[in-house]
Structure 1
Amino acid sequence: MDRALLNTHAKLVARDIHRLTQSPTEANSFILGGHACISRVETVGTIVSRDMTPKFLKFGVDDGTGCVTCLLWLNQLTSSYFSRFDPSTVLLLASTARKQAAEIRIGAVARVRGRVGSYRGAMQISATVVVVERDPNAEILHWLECVRLGRSCFRIKSQIS
């Protein structure tokens, strides 16, 4: 298995995110095409759902090949996980997450980066960065990059049909 992609954000379309399978050897990583070991992904699509709670913002991103559930955590100030971080870092993380959450609106095209995982049998992204795209070509350019990477890195013959 190719571990070169383990700590990079692999550009994938939703259909390929749902095709990821749990790695038998690497914790918190997934396999694509039988070769690539992936833990982080990047996708671009239209926001089709939005559900905010005090702890997180759950939203769906549809890129035409499928829909991926994304979570943007908002509980940095109360989570025990972040208690070991420097307080100024936690405040910055919380502020950034709140600003990103405010920009996430249904119908907007967004670029999402984060850690991929499985929850109750479905793949999802725990987002670390969400950027609303202003370039009208962002989604198609992402698709083209995914096709190129699929052929050269992931050994996938055709991602988008």
Structure 2
Amino acid sequence: MDRPLQDTHAKLVARDIHRLTQSPTEANSFSLGCGALFSRVETVGTIVSRDMTPKFLKFEVDDGTGCVTCVLWLNQLTSSYFSRRDPSTILLLSSTARKQAAAVRIGAVARVRGRVGSYRGAMQITVTVVVVERDPNAEILHWLECVRLGRSCYRIQS
């Protein structure tokens, strides 16, 4: 199994994200059956749903091959998970997450990066960064890059 892709954000389309399966040998890693393991992904698409709670923002990104659920956690100030971190880092994380959440609007094209995982049997992205794209070509350029990387790096057979 290849480890180099573990620590990078693999560019994938929604169809390939949903085809990921849990690696039997590596915790928190997923595979497309091509030998490459993925734990972090990047995708680009149109935001088609948005549900905000005090703890998180849940939204879906549609890239034309399918929809991917994305979760941006907003509870860094109250979560026990983040309590082990430096308080100034927690404040920065919380502020950044809230700014990113405010930019997420239905109909906007966004680039999403984060850790891929399975929740209740469906693949989702736990967001680390979400950026609204201003370039009208961003989505098609992402598709082309996914095809190129799929063939040359990930060894995905279409």
Q: TM-score range by the shorter chain?
A: over 0.9
Query: For 1:5, what is the secondary structure of its paired residue?
Result: helix
Instruction: Report how many residues are paired.
Output: 158
Residue 154 of structure 1 deviates from its aligned partner by 1.6
2:148 is paired with a residue whose SS is: helix
CA deviation digits over 1:23-53, x for unaligned, max 9? 0010001012331100000000000000001
| Correspondence for 2:22 | 22
The residue number in structure 2 matching 1:34 is 34
1:107 is aligned to 107
Q: CA RMSD in A?
A: 0.7
> Contact (CA 8 Å) 2:56, 2:72: kept in 1 or not?
yes
Take 1:57 and 1:146, find their aligned partners in 2: how far apart are those partners? 26
Q: Does 1:70 align with 2:67?
A: no
Amino acid at match of 1:48: V
Residue deviations 1:58-116 (CA, integer Å, cap 9, x gap): 00000000000000000000000111111000000000000000000000000000000
TM-score by length of 2: 0.98
Q: Which runs of 5+ in 2 are unaligned?
A: none
- Alpha-carbon deviation of 1:4? 1.1
Distance in structure 2 (CA, Å) of the matches to 1:5 and 1:155: 12
Question: Normalization by structure 1: what TM-score?
Answer: 0.97
Cα separation, 2, equivalents of 1:92 and 1:14:
30
Q: 1:59 maps to what in 2?
A: 59
For residues 41 and 92 of structure 2, the distance between their equivalents in structure 1, rounded to whole angstroms, comes to 23
Superposed CA deviations along residues 114-134 of structure 1, whole A, max 9, x for unmatched, are: 000000000000000000000
Instruction: Report percent identity of matched pairs.
Output: 88
Q: List structure 1 segments (4+ residues) > 6 angstroms apart after TM superposition.
A: none
Contact in 2 for aligned 1:33/1:154 (Cα 8 Å) = no
1:148 and 2:117 matched = no
